[in-house]
């Protein structure tokens, strides 16, 4: 980690000496540093992306677009149109559970009333 930091400091020292000697203007140095920072950020993002892809691949995960493509192929083989999302909607499941429990309670009340008569 100290090597890149040393490279940064030596580069900055070089730029500062060029400004003090009059070889470069502060605006030129600022533009060069900004350019270097953008290039470094892009290189870092690319490296992080590569590492994440490798880690995810090692864990056996697939990308969402790959999953969707395979789901469409399976649906085509089965002769139906693919669903938008393979995961069930939580709100629908909750509503169904509420409706079923309400029906069960109503049936129990009706059964109890019928048993009392």
Q: Where are the domains of the chain?
A: 2-85, 87-117
Over residues 106-112, mean pLDDT: 57
Burial class (CB in 10 A: 0-12, 13-18, 19+), 33: middle
Dihedral sign from CA coordinates of 20, 23, 26, 31 = negative
pLDDT (average), residues 93-113: 55
Q: pLDDT tens digits, residue range 32-64?
A: 888 988 998 999 999 999 999 999 889 988 889
Place of tokens 């090692």: 58
Alpha helices in the chain (DSSP H): 2-20, 26-59, 64-78, 90-116
- Average pLDDT across the chain, whole number: 77
Helices 26-59, 2-20: inter-axial angle, 10-degree rounding: 160
At residue 19, does pLDDT exceed 70?
A: yes
Query: Does 95 score more than 70 pLDDT?
Result: no
pTM: 0.45
């Amino acid at each position: 980690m100290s090597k890149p930091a040393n490279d940064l400091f030596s580069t900055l020292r070089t730029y500062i000496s060029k400004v003090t000697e009059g070889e470069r203007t502060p605006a030129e140095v600022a533009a060069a540093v900004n350019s270097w920072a953008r290039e470094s950020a892009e290189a870092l993002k690319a490296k992080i992306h590569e590492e994440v892809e490798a880690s995810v691949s090692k864990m056996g995960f697939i990308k969402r677009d790959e999953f969707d493509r395979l789901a469409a192929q399976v649906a085509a083989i089965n002769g139906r149109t693919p669903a938008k999302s393979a995961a069930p909607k939580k709100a629908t499941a909750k509503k169904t559970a509420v409706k079923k429990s309400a029906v069960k309670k109503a049936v129990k009340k009706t059964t109890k009333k019928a048993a009392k008569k």
